[in-house]
Amino acid sequence: MRIDHFADILKQHGIRHGAGVPCSFFTPLVNHMTVDPELDYTSATSEGEAVAIAAGLTTAGKPAFALMQNSGLGNAVNPITSMLYIYSMPVTLLVSHRGEPGKPDEPQHALMGQITESLAELCGLRTHVLDPERFEGELSAALSDGVPTAFICRKGTLTDGPDAPPLDLRFASGGQSPATSGTFVAELRREQALDAAREVLNRGLRGVVEGSAATPAVVCTTGKLSRELHELDDRDFSKGNRFYMVGSMGCAAGFGLGIAHADPGRPVIVLDGDGALLMKLGSLATTGALASPNYHHVVFDNGAHDSTGGQPTPSPSADFALAALACGYRHAETVSDRDAFVEALARHVEMEGPTLLRMIIHTGARKDLGRPKLSPRDAYLRFSAFLQGTPWSSAGGAS
């Protein structure tokens, strides 16, 4: 299938964005996307991150695909099962088929080659082998049914891409330092810090949430952070600008990045945990490279996986502010007291991003902490409606 024809089908169905980790089977597509001004490709650092970025774009009304070698399907299983599947996000996956049974290939592809289709199906993806005759109809059906779908792409299916333009790269080293330095000791627990942040997070929200471009989109990481923020002021479902990620640990950053990329006019605030950020630390590099001015990363760093019992993470010796700057963020700093946090957060969302604010906190949470009562499907529909400025109608009410 000629790549220009394949790309035309994507465009005709509103897909102009993609994120991925490449496979040589997709070289024609990736090369085509670098020269076709109507298409946009983000190079992700892991296949799970690619899924998260494509999910963010799609949620914000810019349908997107995630592209990966079938080896990377293994890296993406959790974001597919805990995010695309449970929220029923209509993201298209393009998965190459290395190690196709009966065809000679490298040994590392032998097992995954045998299980690729069945693994995609087991992950809840509507799965097709990419067939030039059927692709358009199957893509159209997947998008109108609103389900996550995988197209398994065999060797030689996509052809005739252009050569990649030559790269003229400059490699940065020894940039700026974080705005704060020294040793930081926690004063607040996460819930107290979230409480202090609410005024900024809710800025621009009126009684009934409207899709004003000034209202920040707030993406909350997995675990107790989401539960606490929901309990603090969204039990009446009034905060349509919030998305609580119930699984897909580490994907809040990529998901928020997809949203920021889809709508540069909307501030995006990602509330992350140290464990989650460390799980997908490559997101810092993707964010720095994309340089979205509207992206603001806040890391609640308690040096622990607090949500699962407080087991330590290596974050006390991992300076996220320094790492963010090293990856291309425009501004980063660490704070640990309430006033400095509120001041810095308010300042960051007004700055040109990407910015990163590391707030040092204690472990610990209330014993009687509840859970967001919206079903995952409704949580997705509510947030997507907010981002697209459309009314939210519940798919089935609170769960």
Ligand X SMILES: Cc1ncc(C[n+]2csc(CCOP(=O)(O)OP(=O)(O)O)c2C)c(N)n1
Find the part of the chain contacting ligand X (CB under 6 A) among 209-217, 221-229, 263-271, 372-380: 221-229
Sequence length of the chain is 399
By the rule CB under 6 A, 305 interacts with ligand X: yes
**Shortest CB 335 distance to ligand X, Å:** 17
**Shortest CB 188 distance to ligand X, Å:** 13
Find the part of the chain contacting ligand X (CB under 6 A) among 150-158, 194-202, 298-306, 321-329: 298-306
Q: Rounded to whole angstroms, what are the CA distances from 77 to 69, 88, 90, 134, 209?
A: 13, 15, 16, 26, 34
Strands (E), 206-252: 217-220, 242-244
Nearer to ligand X, 258 or 273 (CB): 273
Selected from 220, 304, 335, 359, the binder of ligand X by CB under 6 A is: 304
Nearer to ligand X, 7 or 324 (CB): 324
Nearer to ligand X, 92 or 307 (CB): 307
The answer to whether 377 and 90 have CB atoms below 8 angstroms apart is no
Joined together, the tokens standing for residue 375 give: 């079903």
By the rule CB under 6 A, 211 interacts with ligand X: no
Phi first, then psi, for residue 342 (nearest 5°) are -65, -45
By the rule CB under 6 A, 302 interacts with ligand X: yes
Nearer to ligand X, 100 or 306 (CB): 306
By the rule CB under 6 A, 308 interacts with ligand X: yes
224-243 footprint of ligand X as x/- string (CB under 6 A): xx------------------
Selected from 256, 258, 273, 353, the binder of ligand X by CB under 6 A is: 273
Nearer to ligand X, 56 or 223 (CB): 223
| Nearest residue (beta carbon) to ligand X | 273
By the rule CB under 6 A, 275 interacts with ligand X: yes
Dump the DSSP string for 86-120: HHT---EEEEE-TT-TTS---GGGHHHHHHHHHHH
What b-and-e string marks burial along 5-37, b requiring 16 or more CB atoms within 10 Å of the CB? ebbeebeebebbbbbbbbbebbebbbbbbbebe
Nearer to ligand X, 29 or 304 (CB): 304
H-state helical runs in the chain: 3-12, 27-35, 47-59, 70-75, 77-79, 86-87, 110-122, 135-145, 190-201, 224-233, 252-262, 274-279, 282-290, 320-326, 338-348, 376-388
Of residues 72 through 131, those in contact with ligand X by CB under 6 A are 78
Cis status of the peptide bond prior to 354, with omega within 30 of 0? yes
**Shortest CB 252 distance to ligand X, Å:** 9
| Residues that bind ligand X in the complex, under the rule CB under 6 A | 78, 190, 221-225, 247, 249, 273-276, 302, 304-308, 313
